[in-house]
Structure 1
């Protein structure tokens, strides 16, 4: 590879007439100069040398021609018009809510929030970390438990994670049994069953209203309030469970907990649920932030992310992710969960909803909601219906023998969706959006002309009313006006680096443009305000959009079918492995339980394999980062009769197109195994290669990487699973939606909602529709060009660790700092923190190889930004040379002290061996536009030793 850098020069303007032209950052002239720097005359020549012929597809993409932005929006309007927005009073864990405009505009629709990355670099993530700490405080306060995490994917999967946590806490060696109340949400019950089967856990469903049945259980799940609306005292069952040594899990409604006694005060060990009704729209089922809170003593086994308070280099309080050794990419096959993300954007919205309304506002919303339910109950009694439960919060269960379907139809005529329980029972759920017209419409459907005029008695028993305070921290009392809230959100946003400020060159994470046109439709009422269990006639637009997207993804990947139900990449992995498991079982091969995983693979692969009931066997990599074929064949031979699958990331996590992938696939197939290709790096394949054609049987796809759903600070994500024809019968299904998957042979639901995070699927639909087949291929080519261009510019300064044929990389490259560290003491972390002073988020730090930086430019960064980043890295290398030659002190230099805050520079006691100017303005351009880190380098170990996971008092921030 010939490395030659050409400085930017003036060139004729190329018209950018299509969406693809505007999505792809480098212009044709820029790409020509980049190719020349790599040593190539054309993109085609580079692709021929970089992408192995053995994987290249033999046919072009069969997709519709690209739409313009107005055309795409017009088509989406047509699809949206096929959905019918009806006031839903269905409940089942999904409720209408009003998103305050200040939060809608300044969080959900704000790229400063939705384009941020997971806060692994805490110094430039203080804003979103504070918002998440607020979220944890809300959950902890309302549940009455001391520690809450920074969100999980949804209520159903949170409950399944709680089951696994309860099993770990019990320290049982045998799988054991998990007891679930019949009044739990039906989708939650089925997600638990799906997750329990491969682990060998027996799930027992029983009516716990009269107490515990006989038997040995390691855990018990109660719903509070129940799916039927019933509010019951948790304490008797909790006490009985504890007497038997079982952990008590409660799935609770956060809004109800403003009025009801907290589960933590009634014996709950773990509380889970959803924060959806705190200002997050239905979105046809998602994305919504699930939550989990735990009692003292088990917080270090808590799955998912946990935000904690530490201190920076000056001793000032600073936020960061706590207990990071629990991160699943570190624990790999020893992981207890495959959760590698959260629902940060939605958790931020929910936390800000609580900040905006405060405890009094939330209580008022809850009282109003309960009051409408009580009015309906009183009216139903007058109409001759039986109200099944005397104690309820927002859901009324009516018994109307033989009349349920008739009343359901009448309610729909009156513009309201009720829930049909059976031919004799209907459920009616109230929420924040319920008003007097809804009450009247419901009662009219039951034959009552008007609501009761007299004052209606409440239906919460006095002994179950909440007495303990909540949300007492000042943050929940200081932002009542919209002006105050607006400024608070802006203050937090300004503390962070997101894509609206600079490129985020994270390898394996594909932080690229999330175009405004792609984002616009998700807030349209026809997409945002649809209940996931609304009648199928009301959701035809959604079903058509989902069907088109699944077909397009199948065409792009070479698979027979795709399911969009998994709501994160980790869940897509699990779905794919469960499909493999189901396939082997259908053939009588239950003994196939070995999953081969290369040592270079994403850590969630191993965690997902364990959760799918498989045993992980690691395959080593050679000195070039490729799968060691000799070791592979040896492992296959050793485990031939037990081999279930191999999980391969392609291109590899090392950023290389491995030439031997077809041989790997054939060897596994010959031994009776299946091939899982992790789709995390699919953005290096789209339009050039299809996993389903070069030997893969199943893949998950990261829509939040390749297909433009934004990362949102660590979620939402969507991880569809694609399979070849023989695995189609084993795709995810759903108990409440026959249309969502194969009912007889499917593996069950992977997420609580039938189509996962359906509310953000219009983003990826719009991206594919506007890029078209040619634009998608060109995006892949541009990503590969950009990665090789950066590798060419940086190679003279930082060794590029792994390359493929002709010294080329795929979509990312790894800068190796290990020799530099040995010679100078400057580490990869020092370089990562120094990049903050230059205004950049760091590349991926020390993954997949310790002491390195993995860099991915993506196709949407233009040449000027790529050069700005390369210039920063090269200037930092010069700073390292000054450490090496003694100009800078080995321990006191701009790298070791990075990042520098404004406060640290204006101190009178400046004693460093470098100047303030060298610290703050290492390149002239920073004088025009400077990002200032709000904190200095954070002490991670201190925060883990002194775990604080809720809002600290204001006094902690006093100077």
Structure 2
């Protein structure tokens, strides 16, 4: 089980936040750029985000983006797909042939090392780009950067890449933590989550998520990206890999990998039957041969896959798992299957680095104590346990985050993730080597079609917001195939998910907002007028069902009909699918496309902010427009004549394939009755809690029969007037009761949105309700004047041990009442590890890397003293 680091919960998430700060520091150090996020979905989409940043930096005044032809093909394709919505013109060419004469270029993307292994010196290239006012993005490899001069020192504005090779399985494509690093100058345009160092109310350093996390809900269609789920769990894995190995360990791995590649190149030269590329390389050797396919087939017989670039070109990549024996096998393969008269071991001592001195890294990295002390398994285990002890998770109590669906992840569902044949599969391995994966993809797709009422599924989108974007791009492609290029209006209710407007804007759509009625339902007459007024240009409606207000829209079928009558398509946000499964379906209701948050409804752990999966289901008429892939054919339907395919949404053909067995196992074990019962119990639990709490807090929205769906909103706005209490105060006080706060101030400011899920027992529901009722009594004491309006137990919450154990205590309530407001806390108490974090200070003083001499550094040093 894993928890989500939601808004307003930093005080009980200091462990994972420190680990993610380690990740940001690792990326910043290795790339030579001062700011990093934590994290992005994959390398290709990170490059697309960087492209959007270049566009944003120049305020969309320059509309051409140049991509070097030596970038990875999936990266090029994802950028081309994403560029369509931004009305950007992508040109792919050799970097030496880039032409800036139009004055319309906003940015360039180069690969370092290149997709075929070459390491080029981009110093003069960067100077030339900057001289023309063009921003430079470098896609790079963190392990290579222990040996190569980093992008920041070369002058790159943005660096992107994947941290997969830092201890994360390939998993047939994901999940993998991607990174984006840049300068302080562009911090307001950075996508994704950023962990920042702030201070708490006692003035001590404390960590929290910085401004980007909230931006999509605040700026909506003006947001810089639509990222919701990150790859936090994988970022933590990569960070711990760097913590364990440290700078010397990483450099030793890099030297060994480079040495194996050099030994291979030296052996091929000795053979003399092939031509080895003369350009410098790090871990990938490019070879010219007479028949690339014949070599690849011979390698396959020896259980090795080589990349065939073209009929006469092969590349061979090495990593830390490669051995000298593997290199000997390769010699035999490239010698037509015949033994050679030398060994890799005999050649290795003669091999020198192929990297020229001008590109050799001379600057230090990972100098913080965190990366220089936990180099044994015992030490790392203790450090991990220390961080874990700072975090509240489902192991401690329910996490009632509305719209996040924090529920049980059964052990048996998690087991397949560790199976070597799943974990160690390369995303571009021949499909006949992945028959098990593909059987699962087909079965899972069929099951999801039955559950949703759709005809086809794409498993490529690797997050919920990515699914939103993919679904809208499918609709866009459908309209364009029919010649309706002008259909670009998207109607979005104000009750929609925060990422919806940002997703529509990324697809180049014009957003028309429609309101809700007093009961929280979409105002159907307002929607009808909007649809009719825009009928010639209507592309889509984005609707969430049940709504984000926690009610089943009574008029949802009429809403879908209105959109269809006016030429639009219905995109249903599947974030609340766990209130539909077995009871109704998007296809039955009238939706044309819907994304599913597998990490919500179908039990993939959230991992403190990811991984997730956001596959999309579509009706038959949209099936031909599902995402494709440039490297591996994803199947699908023949396109109508003269139709442009949608293109690629994620770097891997089937997204984060390694976590799909979790959802597949869950669905297969539950069966139709179990899934339906889960929906019913989730709804029952929400309505039970509503009934218990309605006497103490106003419940904001209900359906026509007085009930709610699987989540509900309690209204705290009145307490600001009567007691000076904000939702944040209630959220922080809940920590003293041992609970994670519900979703705060969204979708309605001044409220809490509560979702119990089907996993929680009545006893746990009661315990949470009792905590909220007790807090209501604490508010009543302020309202009656018994407690001070400015100095009370809510305003001072949470109460960590260091506050309670201080020599002086000036609060007008007892230490005991602060720490133990409920009887159950005597038996098991989860302690927040910091006082209330100052969010404003953290945004105004944005620090997103470990600082030498900081409290974290001092604690680390003291631990080994």
Short-chain TM bin: over 0.9
CA distance in 1 between counterparts of 2:123 and 2:141 reads 17
Q: Provide Cα deviations, 1:539-560, integer angstroms capped at 9, x if missing partner.
A: 0100010111011111100001
Where do residues 418-437 of structure 1 align in structure 2 (5 Å cutoff)?
418-437=306-325
1:784/1:890 CA distance change after superposition, 3 Å? same
TM-score (norm: length of structure 1): 0.87
Match of residue 328 from structure 2: 440
Where do residues 445-460 of structure 1 align in structure 2 (5 Å cutoff)?
445-447=333-335, 449=340, 450-452=342-344, 453-454=346-347, 455-460=350-355
Q: Provide Cα deviations, 1:726-769, integer angstroms capped at 9, x if missing partner.
A: 00011111111113545755311100000000000000000000
Q: CA deviation at 1:126?
A: 0.5
Match of residue 360 from structure 2: 465
Cα pair 1:602 1:649 within 8 Å, conserved: yes
Alignment root-mean-square deviation, CA: 1.3
Q: Provide Cα deviations, 1:480-532, integer angstroms capped at 9, x if missing partner.
A: 11111101000111111111111000111110001110001101001000000
Q: CA deviation at 1:836?
A: 0.1
CA distance in 2 between counterparts of 1:405 and 1:245 reads 44
Match of 1:651 among 546, 551, 559: 546
Q: CA deviation at 1:210?
A: 6.2
Cα pair 2:171 2:425 within 8 Å, conserved: yes
Q: Does 1:702 align with 2:702?
A: no
TM-score (norm: length of structure 2): 0.96
Match of 1:807 among 696, 700, 706: 706
Where do residues 42-57 of structure 1 align in structure 2 (5 Å cutoff)?
none
CA distance in 2 between counterparts of 1:470 and 1:526 reads 35
Match of 2:280 among 381, 386, 391: 391
Cα pair 1:702 1:717 within 8 Å, conserved: yes
Q: Provide Cα deviations, 1:10-65, integer angstroms capped at 9, x if missing partner.
A: xxxxxxxxxxxxxxxxxxxxxxxxxxxxxxxxxxxxxxxxxxxxxxxxxxxxxxxx
CA distance in 2 between counterparts of 1:427 and 1:834 reads 58
CA distance in 1 between counterparts of 2:531 and 2:196 reads 44
Where do residues 153-232 of structure 1 align in structure 2 (5 Å cutoff)?
153-173=41-61, 176-209=63-96, 215-216=102-103, 217-232=105-120
CA distance in 1 between counterparts of 2:20 and 2:854 reads 20
Where do residues 253-332 of structure 1 align in structure 2 (5 Å cutoff)?
253-324=141-212, 327-332=215-220
1:627/1:708 CA distance change after superposition, 3 Å? same
Cα pair 2:40 2:178 within 8 Å, conserved: yes
SS of the counterpart of 1:808? coil
Unmatched segments (≥5 aa) in structure 2: 860-865
Aligned residues: 845
SS of the counterpart of 2:589? coil
Q: Does 1:375 align with 2:250?
A: no
Match of 1:731 among 595, 601, 626: 626
Cα pair 1:598 1:618 within 8 Å, conserved: yes
CA distance in 1 between counterparts of 2:106 and 2:170 reads 34
1:251/1:933 CA distance change after superposition, 3 Å? same
SS of the counterpart of 1:501? coil
Match of residue 769 from structure 2: 870
Where do residues 87-106 of structure 1 align in structure 2 (5 Å cutoff)?
none
CA distance in 2 between counterparts of 1:918 and 1:709 reads 38
Where do residues 503-522 of structure 1 align in structure 2 (5 Å cutoff)?
503-522=398-417
Cα pair 1:733 1:743 within 8 Å, conserved: no
Cα pair 2:8 2:732 within 8 Å, conserved: no
Cα pair 1:117 1:498 within 8 Å, conserved: no
Unmatched segments (≥5 aa) in structure 1: 1-110
Q: Provide Cα deviations, 1:261-290, integer angstroms capped at 9, x if missing partner.
A: 001111100000000000000000000000
Match of residue 365 from structure 1: 253
1:903/1:291 CA distance change after superposition, 3 Å? same
CA distance in 2 between counterparts of 1:954 and 1:931 reads 29
CA distance in 2 between counterparts of 1:743 and 1:375 reads 46
SS of the counterpart of 2:486? coil
Cα pair 2:744 2:751 within 8 Å, conserved: yes
CA distance in 1 between counterparts of 2:237 and 2:544 reads 33
CA distance in 2 between counterparts of 1:772 and 1:751 reads 30
Cα pair 1:115 1:500 within 8 Å, conserved: no
CA distance in 1 between counterparts of 2:636 and 2:61 reads 34
1:438/1:523 CA distance change after superposition, 3 Å? same
Match of residue 625 from structure 1: 520
Cα pair 1:374 1:456 within 8 Å, conserved: yes
CA distance in 2 between counterparts of 1:753 and 1:740 reads 14
Q: CA deviation at 1:212?
A: 5.2
Q: Does 1:581 align with 2:476?
A: yes
1:324/1:429 CA distance change after superposition, 3 Å? closer
Cα pair 1:234 1:263 within 8 Å, conserved: no
Where do residues 847-886 of structure 1 align in structure 2 (5 Å cutoff)?
847-886=746-785
